[in-house]
């Protein structure tokens, strides 16, 4: 079963993905992870992507898609296999969505469901700007939802917590704007296909996972 997790940054895609991986026979395909793996291992596709990144240019869709299919085709899937394959961070545009559909058809497969995380911009900004990270051990906190025991100090190693540059309010607003301009059109794209399932991303993680399982039951 092929499932896309669709939603703006901070909507809860990563949290739900982790719960699915813990509880189901599932594999995640994350474009961020694909880039990191191929770059660090200096694969042919990774080196190709690096050429553009070194110039400060965006990696072309085709290179990203080639990375995705390289991973997808490496997964061992059998007929009637109940494995769930999660697409996180892809597609981001209509052209990527169409390329994904074409690749699925070539493999006699299809996207079974698209989970859309419905969260207001106001809540997204609160979530993302409230994140704090430990630069030493990597632990993460949130000023409202998961604060450290001592303000500004990591519970695990005692280091001073920092706010990442991409979690500043200016950067967060820009990331959301980019999403609204590019990726949000996919909501209509998949809605017309009849495979879009909306989830209330403001709920607690356990409630979001339960809602996911309910949506999963609708297509079984």
Reading the block at residue 148, the tokens are 């450290």
Q: pLDDT, tens digit, for every residue of 102-140?
A: 999 999 999 999 999 999 999 999 988 998 999 999 888
Out of 19, 71, 175, 197, the active site residue is 175
Q: What is the pLDDT of residue 10?
A: 87
d(CA 178, CA 62): 20
> Which residues, other chains included, contact 58 with Cβ-Cβ below 8 Å and sequence gap of 6+?
52
Cis upstream peptide for 11 (omega within 30°): no
Catalytic: 107? no
Percent of the residues in the chain that have a pLDDT greater than 90, as a whole number? 59
197 and 16 in contact (C-beta within 8 Å)?
A: no
Domain 2-119+179-219 has CATH 3.40.718.10: no
The pairing of beta strand 113-118 with beta strand 2-6: parallel
Q: pLDDT, tens digit, for every residue of 154-164?
A: 999 999 999 98
Out of 24, 50, 83, 92, the active site residue is 92
pTM of the full structure:
0.83
Which of 8, 59, 10 lies closest to 38, judged by CA?
59
Domain assignments of the chain as residue spans, ordered by start? 2-119+179-219
Q: What is the pLDDT of residue 76?
A: 64
> Average per-residue pLDDT in the chain?
90
> With 80 as the cut, is the pLDDT of residue 219 above it?
no
Catalytic: 36? no
Out of 164, 193, 204, 210, the active site residue is 164
Catalytic: 164? yes
Out of 19, 131, 132, 197, the active site residue is 131
Q: pLDDT, tens digit, for every residue of 19-35?
A: 999 999 999 998 888 98
How far is residue 63 from each of residues 10, 53, 131, 208, measured CA to CA in Å? 26, 12, 32, 33
Q: Is 130 helix (H, G, I), strand (E, B) or coil?
A: coil
Residue 80: pLDDT band with limits 50, 70, 90: very low
Out of 13, 71, 127, 197, the active site residue is 13
Strands (E), 39-162: 84-88, 113-118, 131-133, 140-142
């Amino acid at each position: 079963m092929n499932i896309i997790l669709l939603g703006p940054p901070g909507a809860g895609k990563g949290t739900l993905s982790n719960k699915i991986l813990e509880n189901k026979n599932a594999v995640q395909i994350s474009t961020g992870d694909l880039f990191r793996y191929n770059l660090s291992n200096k694969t042919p596709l990774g080196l190709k992507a690096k050429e553009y990144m070194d110039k400060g240019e965006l990696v072309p869709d085709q290179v990203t898609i080639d990375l995705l299919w390289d991973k997808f085709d490496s997964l061992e899937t059998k007929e009637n296999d109940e494995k769930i394959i999660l697409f996180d961070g892809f597609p981001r545009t209509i052209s990527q969505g169409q390329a994904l559909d074409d690749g699925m058809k070539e493999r006699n497969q299809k996207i079974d469901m698209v989970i859309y995380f419905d969260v207001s911009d106001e809540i997204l900004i609160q979530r993302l700007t409230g994140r704090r990270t430990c630069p030493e051990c990597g632990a993460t906190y949130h000023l409202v939802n998961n604060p450290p025991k001592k303000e500004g100090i990591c519970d695990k190693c005692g280091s001073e917590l920092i706010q990442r540059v991409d979690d500043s309010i200016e950067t967060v607003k820009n990331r959301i704007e980019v999403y609204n301009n590019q990726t949000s059109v996919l909501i209509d794209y998949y809605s017309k296909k009849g495979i879009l399932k909306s989830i209330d991303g403001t709920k607690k993680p356990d409630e979001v996972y339960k809602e996911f399982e309910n949506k999963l039951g609708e297509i079984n």
